């Protein structure tokens, strides 16, 4: 059981940090992560157009001074998308590698910790009941 406890603690710690950042970004962007339509819309749209590295380097000095609120919002939306994908991947890997019991325990611990930090339940969009009732 020591291995399960270690795996649970590692996963829980990783998910706690990830969920806190996800919740903060969602709050800053006004996105309700418990609203499936909003999450689907966020995930369906690529926010930032790829720019060639050379162009970025050539304009690095200019763009640093010209970060618009729209561009900052686009970056935050893109970060939120990436973090949600990362969390989904982490959950799937944990289910495959550690099993349902360890994954459920770790995600529950992470959610409880987030609430203790002052976030409202579900602020990270991770509906544990929905997730584990579907498994």
DSSP for 30-68, written as a single string: T--TT-HHHHHHHHHS--S----HHHHHHTHHHHHHT--
pLDDT tens-digit readout, 78-111 = 999 999 999 999 999 999 998 988 899 999 999 8
**What is the reported pTM?**
0.78
Q: Taking a C-beta distance cutoff of 8 angstroms, is the pair 23, 76 a contact? A: no
| pLDDT above 60: residue 24 | yes
Percent of the chain exceeding pLDDT 90 equals 30
- At 23, the pLDDT band (50, 70, 90 cuts) reads very high
Element (H, E) at 123: none
């Amino acid at each position: 059981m020591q291995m399960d406890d270690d795996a649970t603690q590692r996963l829980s710690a990783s998910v706690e940090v990830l969920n806190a950042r996800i919740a903060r970004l969602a709050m800053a962007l006004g996105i309700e992560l418990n609203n499936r339509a909003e999450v689907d819309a966020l995930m369906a749209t690529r926010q930032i157009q790829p720019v060639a590295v050379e162009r970025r380097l050539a304009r690095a000095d200019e763009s640093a001074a010209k970060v618009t609120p729209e561009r900052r919002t686009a970056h935050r939306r893109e970060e939120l998308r990436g973090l949600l994908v990362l969390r989904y991947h982490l959950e799937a890997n944990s289910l495959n590698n550690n099993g349902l019991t360890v994954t459920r325990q770790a995600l529950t611990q992470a959610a409880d910790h987030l609430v203790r930090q002052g976030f409202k339940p579900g602020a990270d969009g991770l509906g544990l009941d929905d997730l584990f009732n579907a498994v």
